Amino acid sequence: MQTNQNLSPLVIILLGPPGSGKGTQAKRLAVDYGIPQISTGDLFREHMSAQTPVGIKAKEYIQAGLLVPDEVVLKMLFERIEHSDCAKGYLLDGFPRTIPQAEQLAQHESMKTRLLVLCLEVSDEEIIKRAAGRLVCRHCGTIYNRDASPPKHENCCDHCGGEVYRRPDDNPEVVCKRLSVYRSQTLPLIEYYDHSGHLTMFEGNQPPDFVHAELKRYIDDSLI
């Protein structure tokens, strides 16, 4: 399997609406290429369970299906990508979500390297269906689907034995709000990265293994 061991740093940005499979794919690709997956949503959930000031601030936005203010996200993200494990590159899942976030990221030192922006396209109908069935491990973040890929034992993660739960912001009302926020604030990023020549679109309605194979084939070809 090709990894990123002997190459210049690689930054991958996964774009797509909530529930498009970014988290599932990001976890697999991070292993494939030996780079950390950085999910701003996961970082906020960690802050919320530790009840840090960032977590307390983020909670009100997350519960309402709104974006956490840029200054809070940017500070948290930049602290994370300074870690030594990002020296060979990293994979962003859920960041950037606004044009100002993308502009700030573009100025970071790590962006003077190979950048791939991969966007998963998924229909609204499929997103609503997936969110209704999505379950997540509270401990390691493994993502399950109640119908398509449930954990072997109810409420218990196959990998770490952690508690598997339903994200409160996956309830239908909040999902609709998150979708409308995606359309108004995050969709403009597609044009932004298309314009910069970094964007590739992928059909995300397919099963996870198929999407993973497509993404991996594309990244492997780009690394040659």
Per-residue interface string for the shown chain with ligand AMP, residues 182-221, x marking contact by CB under 6 A: ----------------------------------------
45 or 88, CB closer to ligand AMP? Answer: 45
Q: Is 141 one of the binding residues for ligand AMP (CB under 6 A)?
A: no
Using CB under 6 A as the binding criterion, the count of chain residues that bind ligand AMP stands at: 17
9 or 21, CB closer to ligand AMP? Answer: 21
183 a catalytic residue: no
DSSP string, the chain: ---STTSS-EEEEEE--TTSSHHHHHHHHHHHHT--EEEHHHHHHHHHHTT-HHHHHHHHHHHHTPPPPHHHHHHHHHHHHTSGGGTTEEEEES---SHHHHHHHHTSGGGSSEEEEEEEE--HHHHHHHHHHEEEETTT--EEETTTB--SBTTB-TTT-PBEE--GGGSHHHHHHHHHHIIIIITHHHHHHHHTT-EEEEETTS-HHHHHHHHHHHHHHHH-
State the residue for tokens 């988290």: 23
Catalytic residue among 27, 45, 97, 130: 97
Minimum CB–partner distance for residue 7 and ligand AMP (Å)? 27
Member of 29, 35, 38, 67 binding ligand AMP (CB under 6 A): 67
Per-residue interface string for the shown chain with ligand AMP, residues 27-56, x marking contact by CB under 6 A: -------------xx--x------------
Per-residue interface string for the shown chain with ligand AMP, residues 145-184, x marking contact by CB under 6 A: ------------------------x--------x------
Q: By the criterion CB under 6 A, which residues form the site for ligand AMP?
A: 18, 40-41, 44, 61-62, 66-68, 73, 94-97, 101, 169, 178
